[in-house]
Amino acid sequence: MGDIRERILSHLENNEDADTLFLAEKWDETHQKIVGAVKSLQIHEGIIDAEQKVSSKLELTKEGRAVADSGSHEALIFNSIPEEGILQSEIMKNVPNAKIGFNKAMSAGWITIDKSDGAAKVLRKVEEITDSVQETLKQLQNGTITKLSDSQFKDYKKRKLVTEVKVTIYVLRKGPNFSLTIPEPEKDLTDEMLSTGSWKNKEFKPYNFNALGIMPQSGHLHPLLKVRAQYMTIFLEMGFSEMPTNNFVESSFWNFDALFQPQQHPARDAHDTFFISKPMNATKFPEDYLERVKKVHAEGGYGSQGYKYDWKREEASKNIMRTHTTAVSARMLYKLAQQKPFKPVRYFSIDRVFRNETLDATHLAEFHQIEGVVADYDLTLGDLMGVIHEFFKKLGIQKIRFKPAYNPYTEPSMEIFSYHEGLKKWVEIGNSGVFRPEMLLPMGLPEGVNVIAWGLSLERPTMILYGINNIRDLIGPKVKLNMVYNNPICRVGIEQLS
């Protein structure tokens, strides 16, 4: 039967106008279907004019449908009367809706009552009847007629056989751009349409702003990278520049010795540190600096008595996986010391470190450290506390306390605590200190230059921020990729650090 839209157009080609209800009846389609076709024609500017109107439509009630099926009440009465007549009481008992049917049949002149024998007897008055009520309702039902005369409508409505329902219809006429063919609107604006100017005469499919877009094909940042980006922003805002951290393998020299960590220190044990077997040893060191490091360990100097032990190059040359990013800070400070004249610096790093730990829910053999370093003349412990305050303030952390601690390379050393409003207690959030002269002076940094530094882990705030309780769900081979895809961007704040 063809597309309803096309049928509407060809109907309008030959007719002045048409309303949707009329077309629905004519083509034996539901009104809804015709209206749908009109709506989709309206997308094409000016192809049709559709004037909205409220019209009423007659519908049969349940009782009306019963009458259309099996006859009017009066006809049922008439049909149940045998030739010889029947007792009125009998008929009233057995025929449904007998009371109305009886009255109607009486006033139609179809039946009569004979009381000559005492009891009232009902008799047919005519030979046959036409049940015009049933006929009319049937015609309404199948659409042969759509209207009733005023008096008929009043009567049927009173008898509750029909009701009037309001329908929104459209009166259709040819539009200014009327055409028998439906233009297919363009879905995309191409560069060719732009360059030839053909877009001017084209019709475009309107945007559907409610449609869900296609998920862009893109990478997803791991939560650690998102949190790292925020720390990085804070450092950059504070004027820090990033240190190159792209060497996971480090010599013991830079990881420990340069930091004035004695060779017999327990952290240098294979239980705490991963040693590299191939190549087992590093060979290139700044020899004069190495000599000064050896001396400060073995004999002391720069006002220090040293550790007084037999420092071995063999131990210092052992390759390891770096255990902290302070190894990178040591390399950078040594490099800085070689540049004369000395210029103050602010450095930061955020990268991976490795420790031979027993693995559990919060410990992995590798994790990330965040480290800040400031080198300048006459820096004091007050400067360190101040810069740490400023750094954590940028994360929304105001209440900070320091607790004396020990690191081989800093003196004084302080653990950083912040007050956790949720847990209502002070929790450790980092470590810090002023680098020792035994570390800085052998590097060649001028006397009077002090270096302050602090460090924290990246995993801890990230796990709290993303509600991850097991570190193995955040990083490592057991990580589910959906964790990476679905996690939003989270901002670091006080609640997340501890």
Q: What does the binding site for ligand PHE look like in residue numbers (CB under 6 A)?
A: 324, 326, 371, 407, 410, 431-433, 453-455
Residue 291 C-beta: closest distance to ligand PHE, Å: 25
Best CA proximity match to 395, nearest among 234, 227, 226: 234
Two tokens, residue 261: 């960590």
Which residue, 134 or 255, has its beta carbon nearer to ligand PHE? Answer: 255
Which residue, 410 or 487, has its beta carbon nearer to ligand PHE? Answer: 410
φ, ψ dihedrals at 380, nearest 5°? -125, 175
Residue 480 C-beta: closest distance to ligand PHE, Å: 29
Two tokens, residue 410: 């800093």
Q: Taking a C-beta distance cutoff of 8 angstroms, is the pair 350, 458 a contact?
A: yes
Residue 323 C-beta: closest distance to ligand PHE, Å: 7
Which residue, 37 or 429, has its beta carbon nearer to ligand PHE? Answer: 429
Which residue, 245 or 487, has its beta carbon nearer to ligand PHE? Answer: 245
Residue 274 C-beta: closest distance to ligand PHE, Å: 15
Residue 453 C-beta: closest distance to ligand PHE, Å: 4
Residues 36, 50: Cα–Cα separation, whole Å: 12
Query: What DSSP letter does each residue of 96-145 carry, written as one string?
Result: TTHHHHHHHHHHTTSEEEE-TTSS-EEEESSS----HHHHHHHHHHHTS-
Residue 221 C-beta: closest distance to ligand PHE, Å: 25
φ, ψ dihedrals at 309, nearest 5°? -145, 170
Residues 150, 228: Cα–Cα separation, whole Å: 82
Residues 474, 437: Cα–Cα separation, whole Å: 39
Residues 379, 440: Cα–Cα separation, whole Å: 13
Residues 158, 49: Cα–Cα separation, whole Å: 39
Residues 130, 151: Cα–Cα separation, whole Å: 19
Which residue, 136 or 369, has its beta carbon nearer to ligand PHE? Answer: 369
Residue 462 C-beta: closest distance to ligand PHE, Å: 17
Residues 410, 112: Cα–Cα separation, whole Å: 124
Q: Which residue has the tokens 């009306």?
A: 64
Residue 487 C-beta: closest distance to ligand PHE, Å: 27
Closest residue to ligand PHE, based on beta-carbon distance: 455
Which residue, 256 or 285, has its beta carbon nearer to ligand PHE? Answer: 256
Which residue, 406 or 485, has its beta carbon nearer to ligand PHE? Answer: 406
Which residue, 326 or 498, has its beta carbon nearer to ligand PHE? Answer: 326
Residue 256 C-beta: closest distance to ligand PHE, Å: 11
Beta bridge partners of 164: 58
Beta bridge partners of 51: 171
Which CA distances in Å does 123 have to 74, 146, 224, 247, 360? 13, 36, 99, 116, 102
Which residue, 64 or 430, has its beta carbon nearer to ligand PHE? Answer: 430
Best CA proximity match to 20, nearest among 39, 43, 3, 2: 39
Residues 319, 313: Cα–Cα separation, whole Å: 12
Which residue, 444 or 455, has its beta carbon nearer to ligand PHE? Answer: 455
Residue 394 C-beta: closest distance to ligand PHE, Å: 19
Residue 455 C-beta: closest distance to ligand PHE, Å: 3
Helices (H) and strands (E) in the chain, counts: 20, 15
Which residue, 319 or 410, has its beta carbon nearer to ligand PHE? Answer: 410
